Copies of this chain bind each other. A is one copy, B any other.
Amino acid sequence: MAPPEGDAGPRFAAHPASSAAGCREGCADPARPLRRDAERNRQRILKAASEVFTECGLEVSLDEVARQAGVGVGTVYRRFRTKEELVEALFVDRVDAIAAVAERAAEDPDPWTGLVSFMEQMAEMLAGDLGLRQMLMFATYGRDQVAYARQRNAPLIEKLVERAQAAGQVRSDLRFTDVPFIIFVLTEAAQIARHARPDVWRRYLALIIDGMRPEREGLTPLPVPALLPDELERTMRLHAPRHR
């Protein structure tokens, strides 16, 4: 039985201030501040977890997080009842930030640059943050937050695409569902190549974006160089197999 508590009720408040959450037992007075050393350790855990999750993804064990933070596992579990609690505490803001990107993009006066910059920003955020990407894409943790963010974004993306199509800037057979999917795939690419060249995804975004126009003469030059043959080789060989 992994989570000893039954999961009742919505798992996230509107904006749980990420510093106040997460005390554990005899929690009669939730406002009572932690002892200084305890608070320091709590920060260390948060920092280590953030680094290690963004870098290596959510499948990193809490033992590893503890090691990185220089504390024992016991200490981690004293502050965060479960791994899920830690992950959610860490990612609320980011999920929220994601949800806000589409809004900003919709305000761009030019439909085309609005759409393109949305895709760029989205990819940018997700390419650099493996943990966040996993959270959004696989929804193992923080389902509610993610579902909410998605619901908020979907109509905005739809509008973004349709506006650009209405202006004749995007091919008419593109559907708005293509956009998240493209980002999904692009960030997968980013993740795969991240050791060799963390920014190759920009090449492929550029390629796709050129493909999205209804017609064009000339081309937007690819923004970053391609993988070198041996970078490609290494990337494929290195790409961590999850199975034995």
Chain A residues within 8 Å of B, Cβ to Cβ:
2, 57-59, 83, 134, 137-140, 150, 154, 171, 173-175, 177-178, 180-182, 184-186, 188-189, 192-193, 200, 203-204, 206-212, 214-219, 221-222, 225-229, 231-233, 235-237, 239-244
Query: Which chain B positions have C-beta within 8 A of A209?
Result: 211
Residue of B175, B192, B228, B243 touching A226 (CB-CB under 8 A) = B175
Identical copies in the complex: 2
Residue of B154, B173, B193, B221 touching A229 (CB-CB under 8 A) = B154
Mind listing 28 A-B residue pairs with CB under 8 Å?
Answer: A59-B242, A83-B244, A138-B241, A138-B243, A139-B237, A140-B241, A150-B233, A154-B229, A171-B219, A173-B219, A173-B221, A173-B222, A174-B222, A174-B226, A175-B225, A178-B203, A178-B227, A180-B232, A184-B192, A184-B236, A185-B185, A185-B188, A207-B208, A207-B211, A207-B212, A208-B211, A211-B212, A215-B219
Residue of B138, B181, B210, B226 touching A232 (CB-CB under 8 A) = B181
Question: When the two chains form their complex, are residues A204 and B185 in contact, meaning their CB atoms are under 8 A apart?
Answer: yes
Query: Which chain B positions have C-beta within 8 A of A140?
Result: 241, 243-244
